[in-house]
Structure 1
Amino acid sequence: MLIILCLLFAISTLIAFLTHGDYIDSRNDVWFESNTLFVLIFIFVISRNTILDNGFIKYGFLLLIFNQAYDVITEITYLDALSDKYDLVDTMIEDGTLQIAYLLIALGFTKLIKQINDEACIDELTGLYNRKKLSEIRLKLFDLIYIDLDGLKLVNDTKGHAVGDLMIIRVAQAINQVLGRHDQAFRIGGDEFVIVVKPSHGAKIVEKLKQELKGESIKFSYGIELTNIDELSLALEKPIKPCTE
């Protein structure tokens, strides 16, 4: 990649050197403007499979490239005189597209940062929230359901971690099936899950979870406690009297 960038700089230098002085305003300006254009193109190319999945950033960069290309070609004396003749159009192209490009890129990076923050709060294996999301529980007062899978270590030791992971994924799927609109589920450890539901709804959710896993060789222990966001850390630290299913 560094070699490609150096080649682009060499090309811009060659363009500036070969350009006849009678046809351009300044060789130095052509060189600097061409370098900037090639750098923008380089960034666009190497980013096309990552941040350019974001439409705002993609089209913002394309506008930047267009804007910079316009700066390069208006270094030609004839085109520069023509742009001076139509000053309003020139201003709209040169300054207007630049502002729109920056706005699109700013919106794109805002969206990208939010996406990164959201993904940081998602458990990769199950798709449930992880511990980082516990601080964003929506309910002020809620039933805290603590779930601990029984026998996961034995499954990992005898059948392998791949089978154990499938067991965890299946429980996460079952939890998702029984969640209500305002409920939230978290995987807080290897075999530990937490579900946050409206007060007095905890027992109902557990019963639904039992039915969802009925007939499967998956057992779990659980506990239910009424708590609030201010006492959540304490509730998670102290042992909840488990019931086994």
Structure 2
Amino acid sequence: MMKDLIPIDVLLSSFGSIEGGIIILNPEGKVVYLNDWVLDHGVMQTEDYLNKTLDAVFWGSISGQLLESIDNAMNSSLSRILSHKIHKNILPLYRNKEASVRLPLHISTLISPLKDKVGILIRIVDYTSLVKREKQIRVNESLLNIERNYFKKASDLSVSLESFIASLIDDISWNVSSISIKFSFLKEGEGFRYPKDNNSAVLKRCEKLIQHKEFEGDSLVEMVESLGNEYKTNLFLVDFSDRNIKGVAEFAKNSEHILDVSFSKTITKIRDLISSLIEWKMSFKKLSYMASHDELTGLFSRSFLMKKFDGYKREMDVEGLKASGVGLSLFFVDLNKFKEINDQFGHQFGDKVLIKISQRIKSCLSEDDSAFRIGGDEFLVIRKEATPGDYIETLKSKISSPFLCDSDVISISASIGHACYPNDGHNLDELIHLADKEMYSEK
């Protein structure tokens, strides 16, 4: 027997350190050696494999190409490599031989004659793990590219948060086709789902929990996980820095193919990616808002005034409004005796008054108007019109109407100056100076 001709340990030492199977046949095609890897992955009829043919040792069909290659190796000393990609049933070897539905290994085999025709070596390489690893690397690279691209897209303020999220999840789903994603995003109880037509019952239940604020912090995480277990689905709460904003992601496998990427690792990556990119989009929008708006009143800030005014001028040039006699009206608003309110009630109370006045100024704006807080109690309104008409009186009346602040009734008047572009000046400084001067003359 071959074991007596070539010591197995000597034979195996020539292969180096490999992962995979080794089968050695004698010149009659009978098995004289199987390594543990083959025993672990083959569904054997009997463990007494010695001097049995491959058909007798393995349970299941064996590739005719394998048997032909063995004959060629014995008779003509020809070596051959067979791949599972071309020959689907080289050997009936399985990932889990105990599973009710056995997943076949993706293998390649090298059939080669041993020296002096003392037998045949069948060397088996399982490339399932290799292919899966390579596929995971490609998926990881795709997710990294998505991260880079969407960090850039987050700065585009013309793209709404809803469109940003829908596009993001669509791209992720395209690049990780073995996993499907359903996502629900809620901001202060209101939100949307992706895909829009998804009617996931478990997502609806999660939304109700969040909307009703029945759970907070870790208890909400635990409840979402519990719902995932109840519905036998992979469900994750996606948290954000703003406690009023939540996301819920539901993941499912699209297939059970052996070459699918690692499900648990990939959905963790996707969940973290969704969280970080949406957070960045919201943060960028918030930073942009802070750069252009007054923190206290929500009106545009003085720093944004020049940019907004230049935008108005460009619109007028494009639309030809300046040539037709249409201009811009600037209204400089200053509250009268506001310092006395601060002195009497304190600055926190004064801030509440400013917020209320700002709301009243906003209520006097049309769609094309803009309002700015340019100082402590100074405001500026820009309107697309050449003459003030009754607008100054409308502003004064709206501002001076008494209102309740905490438990005190407050009534405060305003002085307003006006200037028009391009009749009164061609730049913002000239117009503000003129409107400010008119406002002080009224005081």
Q: Shorter-normalised TM-score: what interval?
A: 0.5 to 0.7
Which residue of the partner structure matches residue 137 of structure 2? 32
Between the aligned partners of 2:401 and 2:174, the Cα distance in structure 1 is 64
Which residue of the partner structure matches residue 123 of structure 1? 294
Deviation beyond 4 Å, 4+ runs, structure 1: 34-41, 71-74, 76-79, 111-119
Matched, 1:185 2:292: no
Which residue of the partner structure matches residue 172 of structure 1? 358
Aligned with residue 222 of structure 1, among 399, 416, 429: 416
Matched, 1:231 2:427: yes
Contact 1:40-1:64 within 8 A present in 2 as well: no
With over 3 angstroms needed to count, the CA separation of the structure-2 counterparts of 1:23 and 1:112, relative to structure 1, is same
* More helix as a share of residues: 1
Corresponding pairs, count: 191
Q: Which has the larger radius of gyration?
A: 2
Which segments of 5 or more consecutive residues in structure 1 lack a partner in the other structure? Answer: 1-18, 80-104
The two structures have a TM-score, normalised by structure 2, of: 0.35
With over 3 angstroms needed to count, the CA separation of the structure-2 counterparts of 1:68 and 1:28, relative to structure 1, is same
Which residue of the partner structure matches residue 176 of structure 2? 69
Structure with the bigger RCO (C-alpha within 8 Å, sep 6+) is 1
SS at match of 2:298: coil
SS at match of 1:120: helix
Contact 1:183-1:196 within 8 A present in 2 as well: yes
Which residue of the partner structure matches residue 23 of structure 1? 128
Q: Which amino acid aligns with 2:430?
A: L
With over 3 angstroms needed to count, the CA separation of the structure-2 counterparts of 1:123 and 1:135, relative to structure 1, is farther
Q: How far apart are 1:146 and its partner, in Å?
A: 0.8
Q: How far apart are 1:32 and its partner, in Å?
A: 1.7
Between the aligned partners of 2:259 and 2:358, the Cα distance in structure 1 is 67
Q: Which amino acid aligns with 1:235?
A: L
Q: How far apart are 1:36 and its partner, in Å?
A: 4.6
Between the aligned partners of 1:38 and 1:154, the Cα distance in structure 2 is 59
Aligned-residue sequence identity (percent) comes to: 25
Between the aligned partners of 1:156 and 1:211, the Cα distance in structure 2 is 22
Which residue of the partner structure matches residue 224 of structure 2? none
- RMSD after superposition: 4.4
Q: Which amino acid aligns with 2:391?
A: I
Q: How far apart are 1:116 and its partner, in Å?
A: 6.1
Between the aligned partners of 2:162 and 2:351, the Cα distance in structure 1 is 35
Between the aligned partners of 1:63 and 1:142, the Cα distance in structure 2 is 44
Aligned with residue 160 of structure 1, among 346, 354, 378: 346
With over 3 angstroms needed to count, the CA separation of the structure-2 counterparts of 1:178 and 1:28, relative to structure 1, is closer
Q: How far apart are 1:206 and its partner, in Å?
A: 1.5
Between the aligned partners of 1:181 and 1:58, the Cα distance in structure 2 is 28
Q: Which amino acid aligns with 1:240?
A: K
Which residue of the partner structure matches residue 250 of structure 2? none
SS at match of 1:196: strand
SS at match of 2:375: coil
The two structures have a TM-score, normalised by structure 1, of: 0.58
Which segments of 5 or more consecutive residues in structure 2 lack a partner in the other structure? Answer: 1-104, 107-125, 180-253, 261-276, 317-321, 403-410
Which residue of the partner structure matches residue 93 of structure 1? none
Between the aligned partners of 1:225 and 1:119, the Cα distance in structure 2 is 28
CA deviation string 1:94-153 (max 9, x = no partner): xxxxxxxxxxx9xxx7x9978864663233322322231333235652332111112223
